[in-house]
Amino acid sequence: MLDELKSAARRMGSDYALRSLMTDCRRLLSERGEANSVVIARSLVARFDSLPAEQQATFFERLATEFSPDPKAVLDSALAYAEQPSADNLIRLTREAEPPRQELLRRINRTPGGTSSIVRMRRTLLERLPKQPALRALEADLLHLLSSWFNPGFLEMRKVDWNSPAQLLEKLIRHEAVHEIDGWDDLRRRLLPDRRCFAFFHPQLPDEPLIFVEVALVPEMPAAVAPLIDKTSSAAGPDTYKVATFYSISNCQPGLKGVSLGNFLIKRVAEELKREVPQLKTFCTLSPIPGFAGWLAKDGDWTALPGTKKAVAERALQARAVLKAACGGEWSRLASAAALQALPADAQQALERLCAFYLVHQTPHPGGDPVARFHLDNGARLERLNPMGNLSRPGLKQSFGLMVNYLYDLSRVEAHHEGFTQGEIATARAVTSLL
């Protein structure tokens, strides 16, 4: 009985806290609230952070329903603009169509620490979104605002090295998302003179990296990742630097998912390295293919993919049959270095053909590889497949050990990006010959 009373009391307290929070949201949007916005916003954020998860979910629901545009006002403004498309009518329509919650978020952003709070708030919202799809409009507002506030023009690119603050180096270890950093010795190797690390920072989060990229300066385009991240290897001399290879890019802020950061960072780093190390002639990646194994395990009519020639799709289907027979119909058997090494030549060729087909023909469509889409949309060229390029457990599980090089020809990235938006994949002969 006592436990039930305590539970009821907690619920009442949470309900009161939520009602009070919504009242302060309206106060903050009022003219009077604007004058006291810093005090109100700071209190609002602190109380949101202290709400239990279910009350945070209710708060999002109420933002989505109670702080949306007035449909009648939007309709009246739209009709007026349709009848007379004047500047005044367009301004009125734009004002009426903007959800009031956007201005609420702007006022929260003005308070010290407000930007960080909104990034945290969006992280929480993204976690709720699969269960609450009705919050998509609220999520779109947050993405719209954060994309403006984190425009690359506002960001600072910094080189990270062994002399950087220990707190920052710890964050690199914690946030590395592609190739795990195995402690301080591993990190130290990744920051020796033949390696580079660059990160984006925002003025409102000066000590928090938003995203960072790791680069290896090497004699030639690499075909495997193990030598690049071998913490026992020695640093090569500057006279060997001919190729800059981007081998890892990691987002540090889940609340900024979908905000374009990585594409600008790679290009900025390439330009910086070109100035710092003039003998560098080639800029490329050594990238994972995280969607390949899952895609291959699914049956599909590849001849129906738009823009895919029937003969190419049929050769890919034949390759799938060869590879399936080689692994006894159990795709998971291919997630083993020993099994890959034992594949007969025709099955190995089939694996490479299937991967090339996936990257070239599936990438522009749903189910395509997200890493491929990122680099190709960023203006890179699909350059080369590398069998046995990543024999780590994740590499074997996700792509049966395959990796790929994307080439960044700085004089061609804009043309390649434009082509990708039209459904064209910039592809080297070494890849197209596999199809």
Q: Which of 31-35, 105-109, 167-171, 181-185 has the lowest mean pLDDT?
A: 31-35
What's the mean pLDDT in 316-322? 94
> Among this protein's residues, is 375 annotated catalytic?
yes
Q: What is the CATH number of domain 292-432?
A: 3.40.630.150
292-432 matches 153-285 in CATH topology: yes
Q: Which residues contact 206 (CB under 8 A, 6 or more apart)?
A: none
Of residues 263 and 341, which shows the higher confidence score?
341
Tens of pLDDT, residues 35-71: 677 888 888 888 888 888 889 999 999 999 999 999 9
SS (H, E, C) the chain: CHHHHHHHHHHHHHHHHHHHHHHHHHHHHCHHHHHCHHHHHHHHHHHHHHCCHHHHHHHHHHHHHHCCCCHHHHHHHHHHHHHCCCHHHHHHHHHHHCCHHHHHHHHHHCCCCHHHHHHHHHHHHHHHCCCCHHHHHHHHHHHHHHHHHCCHHHCEEEECCCCCCHHHHHHHHHHCCCCCCCHHHHHHHHCCCCEEEEEEEECCECCCCCEEEEEEEECCCCCCCHHHHCCCCCCCCHHHCCEEEEEEEEECCHHHCCCCCHHHHHHHHHHHHHHHCCCCCEEEECECCCCHHHHHCCCCCHHHCCCCCHHHHHHHHHHHHHHHHHCCCCHHHHCCHHHHHCCCHHHHHHHHHHHHHHHHHHCCCCCCCHHHHHHHHCCCEEEEEECCCCCCHHHHHHHCCCEEEEECCCCCHHHHHHHHHCCCCCECHHHHCCC
What's the mean pLDDT in 101-106? 94
Q: Which of 76-80, 207-211, 300-304 has the lowest mean pLDDT?
A: 300-304
Confidence at 13, pLDDT banded by 50, 70, 90 = very low
> Encoding tokens for residue 261?
């950061």
Tens of pLDDT, residues 376-388: 999 999 999 999 9
Q: Quick one: residue 392, left, alpha or beta (phi over 0 = left, psi -120 to 50 = alpha)?
A: beta
Residue 35 has a pLDDT of 66
Tens of pLDDT, residues 202-218: 999 998 999 999 999 99
Mark 392-427 as b/e (b = at least 16 C-beta within 10 Å): beebbbbbbbbbbbbbbbeeebeebbebbeeeebbb
- In this structure, which CATH number among 2.40.30.10, 2.60.40.10, 1.10.3720.10, 1.20.140.90 belongs to the domain 2-149? 1.20.140.90
Q: Which residues contact 96 (CB under 8 A, 6 or more apart)?
A: 69, 70, 73, 74, 76, 77
Residue 71 has a pLDDT of 94
The CATH architecture to which 153-285 belongs is: 3-Layer(aba) Sandwich (3.40)
Residue 306 has a pLDDT of 86
Q: What is the mean pLDDT of the chain?
A: 91
Flag whether pLDDT at 94 surpasses 90. yes
Residue 59 has a pLDDT of 92
Residue 14 has a pLDDT of 55
Residue 5 has a pLDDT of 40
Flag whether pLDDT at 11 surpasses 60. no
Q: With contact defined as beta carbons under 8 Å apart, do 135 and 128 qualify?
A: yes
Residue 9 has a pLDDT of 41
Confidence at 34, pLDDT banded by 50, 70, 90 = low
> Among this protein's residues, is 50 annotated catalytic?
no
Residue 62 has a pLDDT of 94
For the chain, give every domain's residue range. Answer: 2-149, 153-285, 292-432
Flag whether pLDDT at 77 surpasses 50. yes
Strand order in the sheet with 211-218: 156-159, 195-201, 211-218, 243-251, 282-285, 403-407, 381-386
pTM of the predicted model over 0.95 = no
Flag whether pLDDT at 12 surpasses 70. no
| Given 287, 361, 399, 416, the catalytic residue | 287
Flag whether pLDDT at 331 surpasses 80. yes
Flag whether pLDDT at 29 surpasses 50. yes
Residue 305 has a pLDDT of 86
Q: With contact defined as beta carbons under 8 Å apart, do 63 and 138 qualify?
A: yes
Tens of pLDDT, residues 141-180: 999 999 999 998 899 999 999 999 999 999 999 999 999 9
Q: Quick one: residue 386, left, alpha or beta (phi over 0 = left, psi -120 to 50 = alpha)?
A: beta
Residue 419 has a pLDDT of 92
